[in-house]
């Protein structure tokens, strides 16, 4: 009958020295990357909690863009990469402060107005009928040859 070795005996028999990870190595080992789409209000949702991106994110933090969020599991924090390459910590939105904040818009944030593209029906109408208003906005008078048909 063979003798079973205890865990302590097996551990003691191993000649390799134990190596320990530094606190920094542990911090870097327990990191997740989350991809999120930014809302028009510079908000991302993580586990049903709204987090606001800082204005310094520039175009990469605008509505509709995708951002990669670094989640440090041991610290329970979330960070985004700012354009200049540094990590910026994001916080849950303070709804009370946000409700009282002034609503100023910058020129940069405004969306350009879009001009509708004419449809085939619009083009055919313009070709066949043309404009019915004169330069002053009044109704145009038809030419003499159209008033008195033969």
Each of the 150 residues of the chain gets a pLDDT tens digit; together they read 457 889 999 888 889 888 888 988 888 889 999 999 988 888 899 999 999 888 777 766 677 888 889 999 999 999 988 777 788 899 998 888 777 766 655 555 555 555 566 777 777 777 777 666 666 666 666 666 555 555
- Helix or strand or coil: residue 6? coil
Within a domain: residue 116? no
Within a domain: residue 134? no
Within a domain: residue 111? no
Q: How many domains does the chain have?
A: 1
Q: What DSSP assignment string belongs to 53-92?
A: PPGGGGGGGSTT-EEEEEEETTTTEEEEE-TTS-EEEEEE
Within a domain: residue 64? yes
pTM: 0.53
Find residue 80's DSSP bridge partners.
69, 88
Q: Measured between alpha carbons, how far is residue 71 from residues 33, 35, 42, 94 in Å? A: 6, 11, 18, 20
Q: Which domain holds residue 62?
A: 23-99
């Amino acid at each position: 009958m063979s003798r079973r070795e205890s865990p302590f005996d097996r551990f003691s028999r191993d000649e390799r020295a134990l190596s320990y990870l530094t606190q920094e190595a542990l911090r870097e080992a327990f990191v997740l990357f989350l991809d999120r789409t930014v809302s028009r209000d510079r908000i991302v949702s993580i586990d049903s909690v709204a987090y606001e991106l800082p204005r310094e994110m520039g175009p990469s933090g605008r509505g509709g863009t995708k951002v990669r969020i670094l989640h440090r599991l041991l610290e329970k924090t979330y960070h985004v990469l700012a354009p200049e390459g540094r990590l910026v910590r994001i916080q849950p939105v303070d709804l009370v402060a946000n409700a009282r904040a002034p609503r100023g818009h910058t020129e940069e944030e405004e969306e350009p107005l879009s001009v509708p593209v004419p449809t085939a029906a619009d083009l055919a109408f313009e070709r066949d009928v043309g404009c019915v208003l004169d330069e002053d906005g009044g109704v145009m008078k038809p030419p003499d040859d159209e008033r008195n048909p033969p």
